[in-house]
Chains A and B, each alone.
Chain A
């Protein structure tokens, strides 16, 4: 739909909405945890007709058609803010959040009302908290599809390798999300690649979420409050990647009292300090973790080993301060680095840094504003002093952004989200410094600059009580800036033309609208049908071609040769809650097409190649699947079962005779089962089981001799498949001591409990015992891995 028409329709709808208005007032405020003062994201606020003596809701004078008596409802945004609107009258306001006791207020609404509340965490989750008339079916009514929220409790209890709780590993257990491999932080969402996931930490893009080649993620779970995963159908305020958004929010810090917590595990230790700057007004949070494998290396007698380094660390810090009733400032930052080196001969360092400054401003009870200044950088540095070569190589990608987001709560049936953002990207593809004695000359690949400007408008609209619609459009402008020489290439990859641009001149500007639409039709209190369509654009592309995630994988911007990647995804789903909303079930079917997908020529050279764009091939993709999900949210036993049946294929000109072929991330069957059982207040048992088909791979289809050595002959790409994968993990957590002020616990876990030798890679090689034969060798990364972690808090 052309944009002007879409905006026209939007304005018309708003006019209609406004015409329905009458004397109404709003209730707004911020919801927090009472013990820590942390804001609660996604808490539910239900407003029902009724007086203190009125007892049960649903009665007199309820909003027409609101059979349950709920006149209005809202959920808190990422800053804990909510706003609901209702006609003048007496109301009962129930505020609830998973894992917390609900709070009820009786209010007389005859003017705009500020109602901020603090909820008390359930200290004993065995105790059934029964709050009738609290709406727990938000998953059914909200129009958004393909969205999953993980709580820190879920992340904390799902067993993971080395007992190192990890957001990105836990995400891989959700429907439609596939692990990129054993010991990988990478994941595939609905047929997308790892590089098509937008990973945000307090709004800043994290370009490389991996530590130690992906064995660990860069997210220290202690520092994380909230994780939301959007599987390609995110609201219009997100954009930039084709297949998903993982929105991770850091803890704000306890604004009630000082607290120290931490843990000691086999691989690393963690320490967190938080406390109020001024009680109730502001707080700080600092979290650090570091691995100490290299400390053991020092004990080694081997002179190469004991002078080697191998570690990573993460440092998260955040401060927030309330400037008044209407203004709140947040400053958060992250810095992490991997460092590995051998004996002063060779050293590799890489890491991310992010920084976010945010200013929340409440213009009035219906208009919430957030302004963000965001910085992000990923870089690597290699020092090589072997053989007197004295060379160092470095590369980075660096972003600076300014964003403004407005949320306008018009009335119960209408909410408008509007925002703009501007981001400057700077990429240094490769800088090589060679010393005097080196055989090499220094090399500076030209830096690449681009300016991304985005604007969005999104309308949440409930035309009837049964129909909820969330639609909008995001417009992305991606300007490729000079200075630089820009080449065009023929089909052989030879430059046929070049143009020189001066600094700050615009080489090319890609403007793309991204329409987003989702709707839910509520069939009854516990079931709904949803439909969704979204277009996503990706202007930064990751070039990688090896099994593991490499620190040197290169980000490249769209250019005169590389077109923006485009994905169109449509999905339909049936959602139903059972047993008084204790169980959530859903079936979602999706179909996605992708344009301008990037692949590589055979033998492509991607690293430090000025003409890297000459090594690329372009094509299209398609992905489709069905996702079944059952989740038990309450009781001693919680958890979920998910099954995904899907296909992902590519058609790239120049590969497999231009025929469709299975993408590397094509994994037809994927089952995940997660169970968390609270045996007693002291003991919690948890387990997860994973089964999935093998990824498609290229096996040799023959062999030949060259200069006396045997080499393998390859024909079709991805014509074979790895063996299926399955694994069971177990964990037990016991609370050793617990007082009002302090707590300590032990977690024992076993990764791959039945010691399955899953294939990490299959390598074809000469049989060392028989030179007449070749053989296939299966490499397993992790077999059974036990671990123990001690956590404390005081």
Chain B
């Protein structure tokens, strides 16, 4: 986690508190209203999501497009693309479309930490490439749980425990699946301020998603810097829907920087993966 993120997180906590207190004390309790608004409508853009991991394949790349803000959340798939993954050790895999917009690797290969992978996509006259180097794996020793006080409630947060290797430049991403349902919340951490420490960083969550007795599957990914930056920026867009978060809204929201050329949205990440499963207990 960068200092930026940490201070930002701390400030979010502060402002949640402040906003909450002000709301309790003086404001009208529900000063929100859904409105109709005319928003700009930009030309359709390609969205690519692709992963290579050190877990078993096949690996998948999905290609969709943007839709206008007012449209339903149905994102058209992009069919008939030419998709390849290569690496610096001579790998060449031409992916085939196994479902509309979903492209799967064909070879029986497994991603290797230290290798640099390149994704190339050609479709509808556009070509897009992305490069990612898989970091060395870091072992997730255990997952523990903490009860954390939030304003007017307390929530349970999962705490991954692991030894960060010496030196800066290690980036981590976490994903939670609770009782079989993936939680759409982005957790990232970097060691700029924690290099070489034993890390026990709670995965901060404002909502009570985790309950005692839940069955949790927690994935830890070691990602490269670009992927980390991408998800860190994307996480800024995750509005918690509280007034406090509104106070913290970026005045000039923008698309996260990514590692794809050609103006495509999305990411291509070569990352390690390790899964912990167990019941939530305090």
Contact = CB atoms under 8 A, between A and B. Distances in A.
A706 B47 contact: yes
Interface string B225-242: 000010001101111010
B113 interface: no
- Contact-residue size bin, chain A (C-beta under 8 Å from the other chain): 35 or more
A776 B34 contact: yes
A757 B30 CA distance: 11
A439 B69 contact: no
Interface stretch (A76-84, A115-123, A762-770): A762-770
Interface string A292-320: 01001100001011001010000000000
A550 B45 CA distance: 34
A258 to B, nearest CB: 36
B21 A762 contact: no
Interface string B1-42: 011101110110111011001101111100111111101111
B4 A705 contact: no
A735 to B, nearest CB: 28
A434 B1 CA distance: 14
B234 A706 contact: yes
A779 B4 contact: no
A132 interface: no
A441 B45 contact: no
B75 to A, nearest CB: 5
Contact of B247 (A546, A709, A716): A546
A382 B8 CA distance: 11
A764 B237 CA distance: 10
A774 B152 contact: no
Given A607-B8, A703-B66, A710-B73, A548 B247 contact: yes
B32 A443 contact: no
A700 B45 CA distance: 13
A162 B27 CA distance: 11
Interface residues of B, number: 93
A552 interface: yes
Interface in B143-197: 146, 148-154, 157, 159, 182, 184, 186, 193-195, 197
Given A348-B14, A608-B4, A775 B34 contact: yes
Contact of B249 (A602, A716, A717, A763): A763
Given A545-B251, A714-B255, A763-B246, A382 B27 contact: no
Interface in A326-351: 340-343, 345-346, 348
A765 B17 contact: no
B142 interface: no
Contacts of A710: 73
Interface stretch (B130-138, B198-206, B272-280): B198-206
B19 to A, nearest CB: 9
B264 to A, nearest CB: 10
A346 B69 contact: no
A267 B200 CA distance: 41
A765 B240 CA distance: 9
Given A702-B41, A761-B246, A763-B239, A430 B252 contact: no
B212 interface: no
Contacts of B47: 704-706
A481 interface: no
B152 A302 contact: yes
Given A600-B252, A664-B251, A340 B18 contact: yes
B67 interface: yes
Contacts of B99: none
Given A293-B25, A305-B24, A701-B39, A712 B253 contact: yes
Contacts of B249: 546-547, 761, 763
B69 A702 contact: yes
B46 to A, nearest CB: 9
A699 B37 contact: yes
A16 interface: no
B118 interface: no
Contact of B148 (A387, A603, A700): A387
Contacts of B44: 702
A668 B94 CA distance: 55
Contacts of B49: 706-707
A133 to B, nearest CB: 52
Interface in B243-282: 243, 245-257, 265-267
A718 B254 CA distance: 11
B256 A779 contact: no
Contact of A440 (B6, B15, B149, B238): B6
Contact of A441 (B71, B193, B200, B233): B193
A212 B17 CA distance: 12
A523 interface: no
A9 interface: no
A256 B74 CA distance: 77
Interface stretch (A415-423, A494-502, A640-648, A780-788): A780-788
Contacts of B199: 439
Given A705-B64, A781-B31, A386 B13 contact: yes
A699 B6 contact: no
Contacts of A717: 252, 254
Between B27, B37, B42, B72, the greatest number of chain A beta carbons within 10 A of the residue's beta carbon is seen for B37
Contact of A310 (B18, B31, B36, B39): B18
Given A310-B18, A701-B39, A777-B35, A546 B251 contact: yes
A705 B34 contact: no
A696 to B, nearest CB: 10
A780 B33 contact: yes
A605 interface: yes
A708 B39 contact: no
A757 B33 contact: yes
B152 A305 contact: yes
Contacts of A777: 32-35
A335 B42 CA distance: 50
A772 interface: yes
B114 interface: no
Interface in A56-86: none
Nearest to A214: B247
A698 interface: yes
Contact of A776 (B8, B35, B257): B35
Given A340-B17, A609-B4, A714 B254 contact: yes
A485 interface: no
A208 B13 CA distance: 21
Contact of B256 (A340, A603, A608, A778): A603
Nearest to B16: A342
B45 A704 contact: yes
Nearest to A340: B18
Contacts of B213: none
B65 interface: yes
Contacts of A340: 14, 17-18, 21
Nearest to B229: A603
29 contacts: A213-B15, A213-B18, A293-B21, A310-B17, A340-B17, A340-B18, A432-B3, A434-B193, A439-B199, A546-B249, A546-B251, A600-B252, A664-B251, A699-B37, A701-B41, A702-B45, A703-B73, A704-B47, A704-B66, A705-B73, A709-B238, A711-B237, A713-B255, A763-B239, A776-B35, A776-B36, A777-B32, A780-B28, A783-B28
Closest 5 CB pairs of A and B: A602-B254, A608-B3, A701-B42, A780-B31, A701-B40
Given A304-B152, A698-B253, A760-B246, 18 more contacts: A293-B25, A305-B21, A341-B17, A386-B148, A387-B202, A440-B197, A602-B254, A607-B4, A664-B251, A697-B251, A698-B254, A699-B69, A701-B41, A714-B254, A772-B73, A776-B37, A779-B31, A780-B28
